[in-house]
Amino acid sequence: MRVAVTGADGFLGWHLRVRAKALRPDLEVVPVARPDWPRLPELLAGVDAVIHVAGINRDTDEVVRDGNISLARDVVAAVDGAPRVVYANSVQVGNGSPYALGKAGAADVLAEACTAWGSAFTDVRLPNLFGEHGRSSYNSFVATFAAAAVAGESPSITDRPIGLLHVQNAAQALLDGLTGSGVVEPEPHATSVGEVWDTFAEFRSVYRGADVPDVTDAFRLDLFNTYRAAMFPLGYPLPLVPRSDQRGRLVESIRSHGAGGQVFVSTTNDGFTRGEHFHLRKIERFVVLAGRAEIALRRELTDEVVSFVVSGDEPVAVDMPTMWTHNITALDGEATTLFWTNELYDPEAPDTYWEDVRAGTRR
């Protein structure tokens, strides 16, 4: 099944493509980024479905209203068949704002086209989204708070209730729309602006000592992964403090304020590599206890590689950010490494997706 994703270079578009790559290998995803728009007819030729994510949310009222409708018309004009369409709409439709009018108008354009084609249309109305690699002061207040917490700042807050949906859950709703139709409204998590900031402040206090906060709740795990993404890579490695006496040395390599998870230790022979995978949700920590090693990570769907050379002589922790494929390679002899994850390994749902760090950009 060939599926075109518009807005492929945006916050939601990137998360959608990573999730499709991990969980839907049966899909051939055709990314349509902003610079690709002039090639829309070429890229949409022969696709079985379109997930329309591209949109305009910041500009003059007129551009926001009319621009979203125009993007939908461009999609309809570009297809050469009768693809099913899944639309990333907003729960704001109906509130009378230029953004809501534009999103509703775009939905009407797409729905009318699908009716004419005799194909399915799924209107996914999304609430406020948050997640890893959101842009501060742009994608959501959550991204702004995460950046402030990492920087040691305390923003001015006007508290109010709010519903939030992690962007990976939004991506799943869009993928589910490929086999459905009608209006879908994913259920957000009920919280408040103040509660989100208090949670980030707690994370900052606990995690500065390399302790892992309580992430047994799914919403807190999503917020913590968002916080860790805001820290990466400048906030890593996390220093660990060895304690020594006449008996030897002790290093507290993992202190988890909640989930116990799973720990194992392995040796890696000189020049050999372990890992080469990424995760969508789980936390994984590497601590080299003896020898030297290079930990390398690449953000999915990019060529952006970050690496750390670490040694058991000066123990540190490197926690793998979600949606970065990662590995560890022994240098100058055998390396002994402690690995920890926040959840027990489940072979039915391992949340482990194989991908070489040095493989380069993958769609």
Q: Does the structure show a pLDDT above 90 at 258? A: no
Joined tokens for residue 326? 């990662």
Is the pLDDT at 362 greater than 70? The verdict is no
Instruction: Please check whether residue 351 is in contact with residue 17, taking contact to mean a CB–CB distance below 8 angstroms.
Output: no
CA distance 30 to 2: 7
* 238-359 and 2-196 share a CATH fold: no
Q: What is the pLDDT of residue 242?
A: 87
Residue position matching structure tokens 């729905």: 111
Per residue in 287-307, pLDDT (tens digit) is 999 999 999 999 999 999 999
The pLDDT assigned to 55 comes to 97
Position 177 pLDDT exceeds 90: yes
At 132-143, the pLDDT tens digits run: 999 999 999 999
The CATH code for residues 238-359 is 2.60.120.10
- According to the model, what pLDDT value does residue 196 have? 98
d(CA 336, CA 153): 38
User: Per-residue pLDDT averaged across 84-100, rounded?
Assistant: 97
Residue 202 pLDDT exceeds 80: yes
Residue 79: pLDDT band (50, 70, 90) is very high
Handedness of CA 22, 24, 29, 34 (dihedral sign): negative
SS3 content of the chain, % helix, strand, coil (to 5): 35, 30, 35
Q: What angle do CA 184, 187, 193 make, to 5 degrees?
A: 135
pLDDT at 289: 95
Place of tokens 């902003």: 34
Position 361 scores a pLDDT of 47
Per-domain boundaries in the chain: 2-196, 238-359
Question: Model confidence at 360, in pLDDT bands (50, 70, 90)?
Answer: low
Residue 359 confidence class, pLDDT cut points 50, 70, 90: confident
Task: Burial-class residue 223 by CB neighbours within 10 Å (0-12, 13-18, 19+).
Answer: buried
The CATH superfamily holding the domain 2-196 is: NAD(P)-binding Rossmann-like Domain (3.40.50.720)
